[in-house]
């Protein structure tokens, strides 16, 4: 019998963790953190804290239901922190169990582990390519299927069991016009549907949106439409977006080059994500510059403020995070931001109350300084209702477990599943953190 342990991300957007058990053996998928629970305590030093204290804060999943099980592999779906941010804290509970993911994901996980100051992590990490099927025990194999999201090398994780496949689709969208050629592997997804999918575990964050999520090409067009028109007149230009959104950063570099400005990246997380992307050939940094040390930041920003028209600054702080570059600028540090500057938000506001409040404070401070603001030049990386419907139809799963969302999001997903002919409680299971969904055995048996 297959059991799905819904450990984290079933009551919130964040700290995703799921475990799939077959015949006493377990594959863990994702070990995420919930950043708002860390950020709300100003004195929290995440890297130095024990998993017990972080669990009490609600910042990382509670993995006690599987602690004594025979875990044979840990699979990471993609490199966002709400999927890999707790690896340094939780992988040590499963010493020496191998961790798998695509190359970009694994390198980001390694950088999380390197920063870990409380535990020693002994798990070997393996970079796995799309399409490779890794046998992790006699009965179980895992596979990473190429999919599009808002970070490079995202995957749909498949756990192959003798009773059929368990497919984990958190997070994804179907981008059919990605500007840099990333593509969903429709062929493989359809094959899986034919071979037989036992369970689909799918994200729910945007399932209530009655549309199909637009391609990243639309975000590129929104940015070009603003920056690259003949009447464009601006002095200082500052853009901010997700540091892990490599495609978006590439678009901004190209725009800066076309405008004859130099793109300058400022902020620690931007340096981290672009640095690893560059190692793997996932971003072309030509014409741009990355500032790493605090000294370089203050020196270069002094130069920039004397000749603003020559630069496009790309900075951290789109959610108003304390300590991020844009937040510090708005507080009057680093750079004399003011009426000569335009700030472009290439990101939406993440809908949790802490982000909403911090972003509100940031915008108010910028407005008080006379800064011009352009908001929402952005499209989401998450599947909307029609992406989800398409995935259900391609995979034709026997059972569905909605994941990655608050209760109302999971129920919205369940409603979609009912539209597609499934029944809540019989074939669709809404779970909570820490619970187990027992999947009925093979129907032919």
CB of 252 to Zn ion, least distance (A): 20
* Choice between 171 and 321, CB closer to Zn ion: 171
Determine the interface stretch with Zn ion among 31-39, 170-178, 317-325, 368-376 (rule: CB under 5 A).
170-178
CB of 149 to Zn ion, least distance (A): 6
CB of 203 to Zn ion, least distance (A): 8
- Of all residues in the chain, what percent are helix, strand and coil, respectively (each to 5)? 35, 25, 40
Distance between CA atoms of residues 243 and 245, nearest Å: 6
* Choice between 77 and 342, CB closer to Zn ion: 77
* Choice between 51 and 155, CB closer to Zn ion: 155
Determine the interface stretch with Zn ion among 54-62, 79-87, 105-113, 353-361 (rule: CB under 5 A).
79-87
* Choice between 14 and 397, CB closer to Zn ion: 14
CB of 33 to Zn ion, least distance (A): 13
Which residues, 11 to 70, sit near Zn ion by CB under 5 A? none
| Residue selected from 143, 163, 171, 341 as contacting Zn ion according to rule CB under 5 A | 171
CB of 383 to Zn ion, least distance (A): 11
Distance between CA atoms of residues 252 and 248, nearest Å: 6
Q: Return phi, psi of residue 39, to 5°.
A: -70, -25
How many helices (H) and strands (E) would you count in the chain? 14, 19
* Choice between 59 and 439, CB closer to Zn ion: 59
Q: Return phi, psi of residue 142, to 5°.
A: -125, 155
Determine the interface stretch with Zn ion among 12-20, 58-66, 164-172, 213-221 (rule: CB under 5 A).
164-172
Cα dist. 398→17, 159, 194, 197, 401 in Å? Answer: 22, 15, 12, 7, 11
C-alpha 110 chain-centroid distance: 16
The binding track of 299-318 with respect to Zn ion, each residue x by CB under 5 A or -, is --------------------
**Could you tell me whether strands 25-29 and 17-22 are parallel, antiparallel, or unpaired per DSSP bridges?**
antiparallel
The angle, 0 to 180 degrees and rounded to 10, between the axes of the packed helices 103-115 and 268-279 is: 140
* b/e map 343-364, b = 16+ CB within 10 Å: bbbbbebbebebbeebbeebbe
| Dihedral sign, Cα of residue 292, residue 216, residue 15, residue 185 | negative
Q: Give, for 374, the enclosing helix (H) or strand (E).
A: strand 372-374
* Choice between 80 and 365, CB closer to Zn ion: 80
CB of 174 to Zn ion, least distance (A): 15
* Choice between 80 and 388, CB closer to Zn ion: 80
CB of 171 to Zn ion, least distance (A): 4
**206 makes contact with Zn ion (CB under 5 A):** no
Residues 404, 203 contacting (CB under 8 angstroms): yes
Determine the interface stretch with Zn ion among 163-171, 201-209, 313-321, 369-377 (rule: CB under 5 A).
163-171
Determine the interface stretch with Zn ion among 27-35, 121-129, 166-174, 334-342 (rule: CB under 5 A).
166-174
How many residues bind Zn ion (CB under 5 A)? The answer is 2
* Choice between 161 and 204, CB closer to Zn ion: 204
In this structure, the number of other CB atoms found within 10 A of the CB of residue 421 comes to: 8
* Choice between 49 and 99, CB closer to Zn ion: 99
Q: What angle do CA 306, 309, 314 make, to 5 degrees?
A: 95
320-323's contacts with Cβ under 8 Å and 24+ in sequence apart are 320/355, 320/358, 320/359, 320/360, 320/361, 320/362, 320/363, 321/39, 321/358, 322/39, 322/42, 322/358
First to last CA, the chain: 12
CB of 19 to Zn ion, least distance (A): 19
* Choice between 193 and 381, CB closer to Zn ion: 381
* Choice between 213 and 288, CB closer to Zn ion: 213
Distance between CA atoms of residues 150 and 182, nearest Å: 11
Determine the interface stretch with Zn ion among 41-49, 171-179, 224-232, 267-275 (rule: CB under 5 A).
171-179
* Choice between 147 and 259, CB closer to Zn ion: 147
Q: Which residues contact 165 (CB under 8 A, 6 or more apart)?
A: 158, 159, 192, 195, 196, 197, 198, 199
Determine the interface stretch with Zn ion among 22-30, 40-48, 168-176, 370-378 (rule: CB under 5 A).
168-176
CB of 80 to Zn ion, least distance (A): 4
| Residue selected from 15, 55, 80, 388 as contacting Zn ion according to rule CB under 5 A | 80
CB of 127 to Zn ion, least distance (A): 19
Residues 104, 151 contacting (CB under 8 angstroms): yes
CB of 39 to Zn ion, least distance (A): 18
CB of 77 to Zn ion, least distance (A): 8
Binding site for Zn ion (CB under 5 A): 80, 171
């Amino acid at each position: 019998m297959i059991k799905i342990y819904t450990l984290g991300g079933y009551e919130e957007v964040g700290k995703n963790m799921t475990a799939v058990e077959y015949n006493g053996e377990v594959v863990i998928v994702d070990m995420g953190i919930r950043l708002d629970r860390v950020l709300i305590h100003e004195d929290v030093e995440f890297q130095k804290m024990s998993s017990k204290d972080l669990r009490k804060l609600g910042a990382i999943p509670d993995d006690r239901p599987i602690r004594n099980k025979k875990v044979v592999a840990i699979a990471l779906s993609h490199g966002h922190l709400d999927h890999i941010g707790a690896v340094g804290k939780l992988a040590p509970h499963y010493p020496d169990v191998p961790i798998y993911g695509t190359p970009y994901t694994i390198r980001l996980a390694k950088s999380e582990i390197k920063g870990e100051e409380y535990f020693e992590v002994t798990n070997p990490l393996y970079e796995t390519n799309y399409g490779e099927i890794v046998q992790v025990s006699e009965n179980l194999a895992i596979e990473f299927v190429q999919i599009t999201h808002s970070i490079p090398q995202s995957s749909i994780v498949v756990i192959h069991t003798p009773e059929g496949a368990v497919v984990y689709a958190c997070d994804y969208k179907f981008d059919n016009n990605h500007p840099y050629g990333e593509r969903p592997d429709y062929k493989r997804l359809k094959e899986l549907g034919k071979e037989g999918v036992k369970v689909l575990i799918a994200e729910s964050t945007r399932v209530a949106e009655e549309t199909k999520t637009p391609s990243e090409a639309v975000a590129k067009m929104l940015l070009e439409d603003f920056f690259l028109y003949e009447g464009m007149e601006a002095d200082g230009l500052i853009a901010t977006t997700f540091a892990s959104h490599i495609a978006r950063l590439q678009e901004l570099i190209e725009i800066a080059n076309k405008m004859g400005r130099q793109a300058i990246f400022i902020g620690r997380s931007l340096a981290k994500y672009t640095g690893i992307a560059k190692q793997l050939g996932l971003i072309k940094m030509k014409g741009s510059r990355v500032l790493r040390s605090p000294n370089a930041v203050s020196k270069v920003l002094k130069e920039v403020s004397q000749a603003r028209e020559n630069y496009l600054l790309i900075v951290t702080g789109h959610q108003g995070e304390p300590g991020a570059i844009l937040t510090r600028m708005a507080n009057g540090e680093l750079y004399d931001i003011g009426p000569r500057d335009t700030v472009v938000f290439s990101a939406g506001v993440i809908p949790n109350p802490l982000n909403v409040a911090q972003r509100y404070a940031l915008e108010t401070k910028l407005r008080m300084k006379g800064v011009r603001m352009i908001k929402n030049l952005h499209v989401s990386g998450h599947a909307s209702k029609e992406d989800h419907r398409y995935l259900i139809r391609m995979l034709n799963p026997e059972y569905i477990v909605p994941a990655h969302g608050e209760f109302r999001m999971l129920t919205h997903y369940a409603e979609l599943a009912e539209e597609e002919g499934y029944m809540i409680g019989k074939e669709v299971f809404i779970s909570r953190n820490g619970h187990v969904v027992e999947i009925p055995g093979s129907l032919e048996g």
